[in-house]
Amino acid sequence: MSKVAIKGADTGTGVFTLESPATNTNRTLVLPDEAGTVLTTAGVPASAMPAGSVIQVVQGTYSTAIYTASSSFINTGLEATITPTATSSKILIISREQLNGDVDNDGVGDATGQYRLYRNGSAIIESISSVWARGGLQRINDGGFKYLDSPNSTSALTYATYVRMAAGSRGIGVNGDGLSTMILLEIAG
């Protein structure tokens, strides 16, 4: 026959009371044959979440248009910061920015914009998006990232996007007609 032991903590001065509800029916509480944490109304602690669970979600937005004809990366203004709860957590980054050709004049040309994603000032991934503009018309592409990062950190992490004109005869604009968004999801490892 298995035994049930109730062990008090070695420290602390509070009294922990087990209390039954007022009932006229016999009840049996069967404990699982495994170690673990009891689920309470406070929810499941992050440390008890199974791998693949979303622990927290953070969003950043930016709506100011920027323009560049530079071959050097410039900050688009879009960023978000998250502090992981465990070093085993992964961060899923989903960002969307609108890249458009420069239509400030009526010339003909095209450009290739290159995005770069940074974590705390260090580049981690790049992507390419082509745009063109002719006579006041333009082709608009959505740029951004869908990337699963493994930062191995419990410190605050700031993810930010940068852009540059990688090729072409015109400049490029970012966020000329919409809202840029970045969503960070902490995924249990």
State the architecture of 49-187 in CATH terms: Sandwich (2.60)
pLDDT of residue 121: 96
Q: If you average pLDDT over residues 132-155, what whole number do you get? A: 79
pLDDT of 185 over the 80 cut: yes
pLDDT of residue 35: 77
- pLDDT tens for residues 3-34? 878 888 888 888 888 788 888 998 888 877 88
Q: In the structure, what pLDDT confidence band is assigned to residue 108 with cuts at 50, 70 and 90? A: low
Torsion angle (degrees, nearest 10) of CA 7, 12, 18, 21: -160
pLDDT of residue 134: 59
| Burial profile 126-162: b = 16 or more Cβ within 10 angstroms, e = fewer | ebebbbbbeeeebebbebbbebebebebeeebebbbb
Block residue for tokens 């082709």: 139
| Burial profile 10-47: b = 16 or more Cβ within 10 angstroms, e = fewer | eeeeeeeeeeeeeeeeeeeeeeeeeeeeeeeeeeeeee
Q: What count of Cα atoms within 13 Å lies in the side-chain half-sphere of residue 67?
A: 8
Q: In the structure, what pLDDT confidence band is assigned to residue 137 with cuts at 50, 70 and 90? A: low
Query: Domain ranges in the chain?
Result: 49-187
Q: If you average pLDDT over residues 38-44, what whole number do you get? A: 70
pLDDT of 176 over the 80 cut: no
pLDDT of 182 over the 80 cut: yes
pLDDT of residue 132: 63
Whole-model pTM? Answer: 0.76
